[in-house]
Structure 1
Amino acid sequence: MPPESLRHPAPMLLVLALRWLAFGWMLVVAVLSGQIQRPVEAGVVLVVTGCWTAWLTLAAVRRMGYVLAVDLALAVVLIVAYGHVYPPDAVLTDHPSFMGAYPTAAVAACGVVHRLPGGAAAGALLGLFLPFAYAANEVAMTSLSFLQVLTMIGWGLSYVLLGGAVGVAAGQLDGLHRQIARSGKQAARLAERQRLVARIHDDVLQDFARLRARIGELSDRPALSAVAEGIARQETVLRELALSGPSTSQPGSASLRDRLAGLAERHEGIPVRLVASGAVWLPGDVVDEIGAVVAELLTNVVKHARARRVWLTILHDGEHIVVSVRDDGVGFVPERETGGLGLRLSVRARVERLAGRTRIRSGPGRGTEVELRVPVALAVGGER
């Protein structure tokens, strides 16, 4: 049964309207037909039915299972009372029915809540009690003709078909309701994304550009040049994030962002922050290779870096796929490092098989950044 928040309210409101119309018809028949043989019993049934309908209208129904059970029980009482309050053999005539269409409201309500199976089952249950209405009207089942038996069976089947039809219609309406709700959420997310893109473009990127230009004016020292280079890289990442649209997969491809996001989520011990310029769709074998390289780098950070945080960046700059793993650990001097056999064999070798290259930036106390740069043309399907 779908959650209450995902159900469209229209079907149950229509069922409630049917209840009041059916109850009004019961009053008209009881007053004008002149066929009621037991007015006291008919009056009690009318009062109970009216009170039940009013309660359903005014109450905030919470335990729907109990409510539907009581509703079906009242429908059964109406079916049997129909035969009881009328003169004998009245059910075999074409006189207006005292119960009218009210029992169908209970069947329809079950169809709205429990869809096709619930509506059909409720209709079948009411159909099984039709012989009791005949018995209450002093009609022996053995005295019924073939056509009269078919009429009773058709009466029961109409309940089943009604419940099933209402269940199917309610399910389809709820499906449309959920689809519209999802479309509304997507539109809201798109509007929020456009607002963030405008904020990034108007504020952050312009501040980056001014800061980079100011650093270039101050000095040509290598340290400041490295800072300006880092600012330029982050500026490029933010620009790609702002310009990237919704991603769609391609046949035989996999999302590099999703693969590395999975590695970041499963990484234990050190928080990994992922920044990606879109999904970056690549052939599955290329994603496997890059994923294995990043996994090795994250393992090295845990073993050797004594870092508190790790930044994982994915950038598609048009010509290359650039993946950067940076930590704030103890760092090292790459030229003097003699124990990096795993780094050379597992990382450099894998990247070179993709016609890419590896760049290491590190220093004592400055953390480490390993940048993987793979040509897009070869990664997407060219000869490697």
Structure 2
Amino acid sequence: MAQRQVRERPVRERVVRMSVEQPLWRALTGYRILAALYAIALYAHGYHEYEHPLGAGAYMLLLAGWMAFTWRMVASAERCTKRFLIVDLGVAIVGILLTPLVDTHERIVDGGPTLPSIWTAGAVLGFAIKGGWRWGAVASAVAGVANIAERGAFAQNTVHNVLLVWVASVAIGYVVEVARASERTLARALQIEAATRERERLARDIHDSVLQVLAMVQRRGVAIGGDAAELGRMAGEQEVALRTLISSGLGQRGHGPAAGPVGGDALPVATVRIAGRAADAADDPGDEPYDLRALLAPHAGAKVSFAEPGAPVLLPGSAAAELAGAVSAALDNVRNHAGDDAQAWILVEDEPDAVIVTVRDDGPGIPEGRLADAEREGRLGVALSIRGRLRDLGGSADLVSVPGQGTEVELRVPRGRKDAS
């Protein structure tokens, strides 16, 4: 039965792939389309001012055709290849160098626009977003040389426009590089977080089954004596080694002071039975709503009083299983640390925004500092079996313990839209 409790279940993690540079690609797509329309509008407005308007019109047809077939190429980094960027920049350079051949010298001297006009900046920014600030700097330098060659001199307005495009491309390229580095760091952090949560889940299952069985074998072996005593000694050694392994793997993360009873060493038969039913709830296809009362009712007995609402207390199967596991861990602590004569009470409250389960006992309470000592010793009943479970559910586990007056653990699981029915 203990094996059934610790069987591996798929971790329900939702991985969201984010890309902070994707909005830049969308913006570049829109800019290229609008800039191409603007260049065509400028040509149409100054048609009669060109020395060779048909030659300028031929380039505009080339630009329109190029945009019609390639506007999707800058929709993402995967589609925007290096070869495309080179050809795209070539289309812009051809338009710039073609301008003196189709336009009048007076218009060029007066600072008239080149044939591609501001569309050239889109070709340059594509390099910056794709390859970073270095690619952007090289592409803007090539476009700048072409603009100066078209003008035939280092005119102030031409140099100003060239420097503006160069600074913009370098700045955007640098921002993209920083964003990509941040994405990689975030992805790595999310992987570490997911791995840590999975280790904690496995450690909880081990604590609730294997460790407690080993502790029980150790005590029974010592009580029986003979060969059983040697078996008990070996079981005790394995328990200590396993606790050390778990605590060393998880202790680095740190969760602050423990907030519940000390983890128990024994595994009552009722706990194993309930753990099996909890595993069934967690493995319920589709994570359908499960009545929490069915998981907690078997705890009731001569030493445990169980109070429940008259209506079903529905939670998703996985949430019900984790909450039931936390209650079992709390009752283990009562049995192992409050004494054989201790009485325990379980109270289930079904509120509109949360499900609250309170486990109270009339034992001697918990001495101050005992919880922190237990976690350092590798006894992770509170840190993992109780607090860890509730933390993963987005809930909380609060402890109130007065020496000589017992201990009370309040477990609160918030309701989501899924289980609000």
TM-score if structure 1 supplies the norm length? 0.53
Give me the CA root mean square deviation.
3.3
Q: 2:37 — aligned with what? A: 24
8 Å Cα contact 1:18/1:105 also seen in 2: yes
Residues 33-112 of structure 1: matches in 2 within 5 Å?
33-34=46-47, 35-36=49-50, 37-39=52-54, 40-56=57-73, 61=78, 64-93=81-110, 95=112, 98-112=115-129
Indicate how the Cα distance of structure 1 residues 84 and 191 shifts in structure 2: closer, same or farther if over 3 A, else same. farther
CA distance in structure 2 between the aligned counterparts of 1:60 and 1:152, rounded to whole angstroms = 31
Indicate how the Cα distance of structure 1 residues 51 and 83 shifts in structure 2: closer, same or farther if over 3 A, else same. farther
8 Å Cα contact 1:120/1:164 also seen in 2: yes
8 Å Cα contact 2:39/2:115 also seen in 1: yes
Which among 130, 138, 142 is matched to residue 113 of structure 1?
Answer: 130
Higher relative contact order (CA 8 A, sep 6+): 2
Deviation at 1:178, TM superposition (A): 1.8
2:196 is the alignment partner of 1:205: no
CA distance in structure 1 between the aligned counterparts of 2:103 and 2:251, rounded to whole angstroms = 68
CA distance in structure 2 between the aligned counterparts of 1:15 and 1:63, rounded to whole angstroms = 11
Counterpart residue identity of residue 25, structure 1: Y
Find the residue that maps to 2:105 and give its secondary structure: coil
CA distance in structure 1 between the aligned counterparts of 2:45 and 2:80, rounded to whole angstroms = 38
Counterpart residue identity of residue 226, structure 1: E
Which among 230, 237, 240 is matched to residue 241 of structure 2?
Answer: 237
Q: 1:164 — aligned with what? A: 170
**Per-residue displacement from partner, 1:99-154 (whole Å, max 9, x unpaired)?**
232111121121122212211111111111124423xxxxxx3xx5xxx6233333
Deviation at 1:171, TM superposition (A): 1.0
CA distance in structure 2 between the aligned counterparts of 1:172 and 1:9, rounded to whole angstroms = 14
2:28 is the alignment partner of 1:15: yes
Deviation at 1:60, TM superposition (A): 8.4
**Per-residue displacement from partner, 1:146-180 (whole Å, max 9, x unpaired)?**
xx623333332223222211111111111222222
Indicate how the Cα distance of structure 1 residues 60 and 167 shifts in structure 2: closer, same or farther if over 3 A, else same. closer
Residues 198-347 of structure 1: matches in 2 within 5 Å?
198-217=204-223, 219-221=224-226, 223-244=227-248, 245=250, 247=252
Question: Kindly, what percent of the aligned residue pairs are identical?
Answer: 21
8 Å Cα contact 1:124/1:159 also seen in 2: no
Find the residue that maps to 2:68 and give its secondary structure: helix
Of the structure 1 ranges 197-206 and 57-66, higher mean CA displacement relative to structure 2 is found in: 57-66
Q: 1:127 — aligned with what? A: 144
CA distance in structure 1 between the aligned counterparts of 2:376 and 2:236, rounded to whole angstroms = 12
Which among 180, 183, 192 is matched to residue 186 of structure 1?
Answer: 192
The gaps in structure 1 that reach 5 residues or longer are: 135-140, 249-315, 319-384
Larger Rg computed on CA atoms: 1
CA distance in structure 2 between the aligned counterparts of 1:115 and 1:32, rounded to whole angstroms = 36
Find the residue that maps to 1:207 and give its secondary structure: helix
Number of paired residues? 236
CA distance in structure 1 between the aligned counterparts of 2:251 and 2:119, rounded to whole angstroms = 51
Q: 2:266 — aligned with what? A: none
TM-score if structure 2 supplies the norm length? 0.49
8 Å Cα contact 1:19/1:53 also seen in 2: no
8 Å Cα contact 2:99/2:114 also seen in 1: yes
8 Å Cα contact 1:45/1:78 also seen in 2: no
CA distance in structure 2 between the aligned counterparts of 1:156 and 1:79, rounded to whole angstroms = 13
The gaps in structure 2 that reach 5 residues or longer are: 1-17, 254-374, 378-421
Indicate how the Cα distance of structure 1 residues 55 and 9 shifts in structure 2: closer, same or farther if over 3 A, else same. closer
**Per-residue displacement from partner, 1:209-261 (whole Å, max 9, x unpaired)?**
233334334x422x44333222212212222333343539xxxxxxxxxxxxx
Counterpart residue identity of residue 172, structure 1: V
